Amino acid sequence: MPSTLAVDDPIPFSDFGKNLLLTRCKTANVADVPIESMREKFCVHGALGYFDVAYPVWELGDKVHVDDFKAVATAIVQIQSHWIDWCSKGDAASTAAKTDAKTVIEWIKSWKPAALAKATTTPERDLYVLLGATDAQKDASKHLAACIGTPDVLGLAPREDVGPMHILFAPTRHDFIELLGYAGLLDPARQKEMWNRDATSWTTFWIGWNLVMALEYSPWEFDKDFKSCMPMNKFEPTGCSNTPCSR
């Protein structure tokens, strides 16, 4: 979105949100795109164990972004595997869940950029359907989610029984700012909280039960168009973004 913002000008979050609706969702009415529709119609999505992830379709034509998506998807399953290790302390009852995690990770490694890019031209958004997952791969994810979400094996579980945790990834800083604008249009009562300059350096925020997570840091210097960034692995070798800092 072209911008003539000066450093001290108010940031037109509303315009960024409206631009997201018009260019990505083909509507001017935010009521047409509740968060569930944003995830289901305009993102590829699927549960990877206890975490139900969504990644915007419009960024899947870029192999670098596909690689980033695979990296963060893998990390999400690895985190669950580590959590099982920490909580089970080697209990044999956790062996099956660890095997399930390995099965899901191997499936993620098999994702091909061309297969994911099909989502840009077809209406299918479910990762398991789009990428032709086997019944064994689907079951592994479900069993892993059950292990994390119930206390039967680990002896603890999330306090709130709200099902899988939903994560919506924002691949670029521009995506993140547009999603902030969209969130404020969805819930005007939160505009004061989210539509401020400090928010432009955030890496996460919530839309209902959906955690929006940036995959790039904001740059050192203010960028009025929000098209530059600092890659998350610049100072952190285990970061997930290999994306160049200029778009």
Quote the pLDDT of residue 156.
Answer: 81
Taking residues 137-166, what's their average pLDDT?
Answer: 87
Is the pLDDT at 245 greater than 70? The verdict is no
pLDDT at 29 over 70: yes
What is the pLDDT averaged over residues 17-27? 97
Domain membership of residue 199 (yes or no) is yes
pLDDT of residue 244: 44
Q: Which residue has the higher pLDDT, 217 or 223?
A: 217
Strand partners, 152: none
Q: Which of 19-28, 210-219, 237-246 has the lowest mean pLDDT?
A: 237-246
Shortest CA distance to 143 belongs to which of 93, 109, 108?
Answer: 93
Average pLDDT over every residue of 73-86: 95
237 pLDDT tier (thresholds 50, 70, 90): low
User: Does residue 180 lie in a domain region?
Assistant: yes
Alpha carbon 84 to chain centroid distance? 22
The predicted model gives 15-28 an average pLDDT of 97
Q: Give me the pLDDT at residue 218, please.
A: 82
Q: What is the residue whose two structure tokens read 């070798």?
A: 237
Residue the block writes with tokens 């840009």? 120
Provide the pLDDT confidence category of residue 247 given band limits of 50, 70 and 90: very low
Residue 86 in contact with residue 148, Cβ under 8 Å? Answer: no
Domain range enclosing 147:
13-231
> Where is pLDDT greater, at 145 or 246?
145
* Element at 194 (helix H, strand E): helix 191-194
> Residue 92's pLDDT is what?
81
Q: Is the residue at 108 inside a domain?
A: yes
**Average pLDDT rounded to a whole number, residues 52-79:** 95
Q: Domain count for the chain, please give it.
A: 1
Over residues 11-30, mean pLDDT: 97
pTM confidence score: 0.89
Q: What is the mean pLDDT of the chain?
A: 89
pLDDT confidence bin for 155, thresholds 50/70/90:
confident
Give the C-alpha separation, 44 to 179, whole Å.
16
For 55, other C-beta atoms within 10 Å of its C-beta total 29
Residue at 33 is within a domain: yes
Query: If you average pLDDT over each of 31-35, 82-86, 219-223, which comes out highest?
Result: 31-35
Place of tokens 């893998």: 74
Taking residues 50-55, what's their average pLDDT? 97
Give me the count of residues in the chain.
247
Least trusted range by pLDDT, from 143-157, 178-192, 208-222, 228-242: 228-242
Count CA within 13 A, CB hemisphere, residue 109: 7
In a domain, 246, yes or no: no
Establish if 1 belongs to a structural domain.
no
Predicted pLDDT of residue 6: 55
Whole-angstrom distance, CA of residue 184 vs CA of residue 134: 39
- Which contiguous run of DSSP H or E holds residue 191? helix 191-194
> pLDDT class for 230, splitting at 50, 70, 90?
low
User: Does 37 map to a domain?
Assistant: yes
Buried b (16+ CB within 10 A) or exposed e, 94-120: beebbebbebbbebbeebebeebbebe
Phi, psi torsion values for 6, nearest 5 degrees: -90, 165
In a domain, 62, yes or no: yes
